[in-house]
């Protein structure tokens, strides 16, 4: 089968076998320190044999403990964690020709997990309307977190990953800095749109300097907030421009503050929620742009790419149920993904169990009862 979607593509100097990305997906398989486990390696070995152009890992926290968002989340805050990551990268390499990036994150105020453990969260600003224990970051706190992002990116490179991706979406720390809903500072890190994007620019600038000019640095970016008073699309586009100026190589467009990461409801129809925003980013920058959310069929994915709105399409939940979905399409079986967007995978994670397709589990349990 020949199509633009399934043809080779390049991000900076990174050659990909196709334009399909597996979006970062928390899988709940790390141990309590954030280290890779055998279960983690098994998940990525399957993904690596599935024909995906670029696999992005579940988010790994850069600061310990206050950067962590969820239990059994990956970490990249220490050199001690590198050997486990090397084992995971090796498993992907053995499976096929997929490339792999690690997503790195700081939770900021967005961590119920840490609150339950008794921590006071680090916040961009003190927010009277937020009842989670938190304090406003000092300038030294902010500089320390930028250093943590930079050190984490270097570890990603040392572990053998093909690229690093920043998590600048879904209400985590980078979203908090960009959004006037969370950033009410009056110093150089807040107030004006220029100051609110300073954190993004500095993180990218310092990572680029640390990893070198040729190592791909990507970002998943919530280019617009979906709550009244949040960051506008125009502000987000200007942030994209400035991140490109200091070294970002690719942008995966997703949600910022105010939209659940699971807005697709049961039914599984193609509804690429952020396509218009991604197209606006594509018109603004001269680097590869991807769109995530709601893409379920080869037909829709090809139409999005052929339209020129974006350069890549990104999916998460379809690969939970079908890690070999792309290989299936490449073999000529072009039925849509079997994922029905039922979101039964999320309760499994929230119970502290490793990620799996909830519908597959239901069918398996019913079959066991029948037998």
3-class state of residue 104 by DSSP: strand
- Sequence-ordered list of residues with C-beta below 8 angstroms from that of 184, at least 6 positions apart, any chain: 124, 125, 127, 190
Q: What are phi and psi of 340, to 5 degrees?
A: -105, 10
Taking CA atoms, 96 is separated from 44, 45, 81, 160, 235, in Å, by 11, 9, 24, 16, 40
| Cβ proximity of 101 and 87 under 8 Å | no
Strands 121-123 and 134-136: parallel
Q: In Å, what is the CA distance from 9 to each residue of 17, 288, 305, 369?
A: 6, 10, 12, 47
| Secondary structure (H, E, C), 194-218 | HHHCHHHHHHHHHHHHHHCCCCCEE
Q: Which residues are catalytic?
A: 172
What would the two tokens of residue 365 be?
């349990």
């Amino acid at each position: 089968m020949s199509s633009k979607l399934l043809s080779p593509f390049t991000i900076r100097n990174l050659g990909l076998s196709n334009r399909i990305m597996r979006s970062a997906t928390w899988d709940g398989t790390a141990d309590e320190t954030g280290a890779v486990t055998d279960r983690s390696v098994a998940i990525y070995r399957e993904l690596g044999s599935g024909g995906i152009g670029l696999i992005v890992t579940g988010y790994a926290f850069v600061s310990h403990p206050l950067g962590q968002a969820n239990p059994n989340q990956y970490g990249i805050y220490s050199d001690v964690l590198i050997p486990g990551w090397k084992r995971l990268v090796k498993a992907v390499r053995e499976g096929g020709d997929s490339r792999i990036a690690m997503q790195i994150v700081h939770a900021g105020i967005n961590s119920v997990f840490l609150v339950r453990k008794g921590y006071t969260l680090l916040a961009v600003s003190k927010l009277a309307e937020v009842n989670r224990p938190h304090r406003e970051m000092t300038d030294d706190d902010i500089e320390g977190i930028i250093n943590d992002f930079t050190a984490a990116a270097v570890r990603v490179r040392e572990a053998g990953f093909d690229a690093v991706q920043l998590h600048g979406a879904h209400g985590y720390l980078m979203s908090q800095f960009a959004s006037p809903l969370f950033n009410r500072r009056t110093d150089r890190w807040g107030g004006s749109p220029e100051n609110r994007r300073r954190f993004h620019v500095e993180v990218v600038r310092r990572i680029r300097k640390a990893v070198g000019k040729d190592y791909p640095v990507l970002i998943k970016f919530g280019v617009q907030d979906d709550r009244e008073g949040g960051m506008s699309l125009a502000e987000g586009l200007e942030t994209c421009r400035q991140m490109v100026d200091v070294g970002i190589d690719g942008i995966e467009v997703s949600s910022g503050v105010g939209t659940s990461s699971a807005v697709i409801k049961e039914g599984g129809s193609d509804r690429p929620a952020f396509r218009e925003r991604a197209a606006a980013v594509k018109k603004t920058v001269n680097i590869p742009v991807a769109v995530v959310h709601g893409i379920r069929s080869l037909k829709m994915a090809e139409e999005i790419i052929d339209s020129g709105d974006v350069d890549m399409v990104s999916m998460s939940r379809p690969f939970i149920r079908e890690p070999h979905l792309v290989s299936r399409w490449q073999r000529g079986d072009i039925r849509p993904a079997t994922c029905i967007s039922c979101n039964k995978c999320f309760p499994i994670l929230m119970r502290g169990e490793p990620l799996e397709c909830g519908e597959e589990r239901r069918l398996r349990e019913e079959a066991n009862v029948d037998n």
